[in-house]
């Protein structure tokens, strides 16, 4: 549940980082259902967090807080935030452009009032485990089945071939012949010189970080919803769709919920994951660190400390 209050009575909602840490600690101790990553549109969030009842006789409170918050989400602000992210190219993990983007996101969150920002630090070194299994002596590559022969002529009137089927995203089926698809790894395959220069640096293994901030609930601060999107991308581009679009949305939600006249009963964490493109490594690091926090603080008489994971 959330509500709007008069700005004069609200004061500064941002505050120091300690409330965010307290909410994080409480959420970890709670151990469970609310500390799960959700990328919820505002409409779904509004359904989960219904508006508080208002007194009809008070004209200042006779408004729908959901509609008020939705009205604060403007296309212009969203596009400006998304455009800011594109300054860092594809924000590929392990590069300076990625680190600069994390710094920029943190400064942006603080500027809009979500001042209790925190970082998750972890190490990414996948090449330590990247040795492929060796084949047994005499074992060659598996044979591919011969291509199917098309018995009938399926040439279209314009000379195109039809009938080929391929798997697409989300279990879809793609009909018709098409070119090769996949992530571009070639710098010179990008025709835009400016974008090429943004993405020239290659990633290296080592330390990583990701940033989040927390809207601390007033009634149930130990219960938390997490809104997340991954800020890293790849492909020698500006990573606008995957996932600059989602990152900008989470940032804009952080902006409107951090307004000094907005209160929420439960805490909401806005987190911008890193290393998603390499296999959800940033999200896994967050979960592992939260689990380790709970295990270290389990009561001594707990039957199974590992059960706090």
Tell me: pLDDT of 106 over 70: yes
Predicted confidence at residue 135, as pLDDT, reads 57
Per-residue pLDDT of 124-157, as tens digits, reads 987 644 455 555 555 655 565 555 554 555 554 5
pLDDT at 182: 75
Q: If one looks up domain 2-53+62-125+194-298 in CATH, what number appears?
A: 3.40.630.10
- Is 1:50 a contact under the CB 8 Å cutoff? yes
> Is residue 275 scored above 90 in pLDDT?
yes
| Region 156-161 average pLDDT | 50
Least confident interval from 40-44, 96-100, 267-271, 296-300 = 40-44
Q: pLDDT tens across 191-215, in order? A: 999 999 999 999 999 999 999 999 9
Cα 273-275-280 angle, rounded to 5 deg: 80
Q: What is this structure's pTM?
A: 0.70
Read off the pLDDT of each residue in 109-131 and give the average, rounded to a whole number: 84
- The percent of the chain in helix, strand and coil, each rounded to the nearest 5, is 35, 15, 45
Question: What gap in Å lies between CA 97 and CA 199, rounded to an integer?
Answer: 8
- Per-domain boundaries in the chain: 2-53+62-125+194-298
- Tens digits of residue pLDDT in 228-250: 999 999 999 999 999 999 999 99
How far is Cα 24 from Cα 270, in angstroms, rounded to an integer? 12
């Amino acid at each position: 549940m959330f509500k709007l209050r008069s700005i004069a009575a609200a004061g500064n909602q941002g505050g120091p980082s300690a409330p965010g840490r307290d909410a994080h600690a409480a959420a970890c101790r709670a151990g469970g259902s609310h500390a799960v990553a959700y990328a919820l549109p505002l409409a779904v969030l509004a359904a989960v967090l219904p508006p508080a009842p208002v007194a009809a006789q008070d004209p200042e409170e006779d408004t729908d807080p959901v509609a008020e918050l939705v009205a604060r989400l403007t296309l212009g602000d969203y596009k400006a935030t998304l455009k800011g992210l594109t300054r860092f190219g594809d924000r590929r993990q392990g590069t300076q452009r990625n680190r600069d983007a994390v710094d920029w996101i943190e400064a942006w969150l603080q500027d809009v009032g979500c001042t209790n920002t925190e970082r998750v630090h972890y190490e990414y070194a996948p090449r330590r485990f990247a040795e492929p299994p060796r084949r047994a002596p005499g074992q060659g590559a598996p044979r591919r089945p011969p291509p199917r022969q098309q018995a009938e002529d399926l040439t279209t009137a314009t000379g195109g071939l039809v009938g080929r089927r391929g798997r697409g995203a989300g279990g879809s089926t793609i009909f018709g012949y098409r070119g090769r698809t996949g992530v571009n790894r070639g710098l010179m395959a990008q025709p835009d010189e400016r974008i090429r220069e943004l993405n020239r640096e290659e990633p290296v293994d080592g330390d990583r970080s990701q940033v989040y901030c927390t809207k601390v609930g007033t009634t149930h601060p130990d219960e938390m919803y997490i809104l997340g999107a991954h800020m890293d991308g790849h492909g020698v581009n500006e990573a606008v769709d995957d996932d600059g679009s989602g990152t900008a949305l989470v940032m804009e939600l952080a902006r409107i919920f951090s307004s000094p006249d907005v209160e929420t009963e439960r805490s909401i964490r806005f987190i911008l994951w890193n290393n998603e493109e390499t296999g959800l490594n940033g999200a896994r690091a967050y979960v592992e660190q939260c689990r380790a926090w709970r295990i270290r603080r389990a009561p001594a008489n707990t039957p199974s400390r590992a059960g706090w994971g």
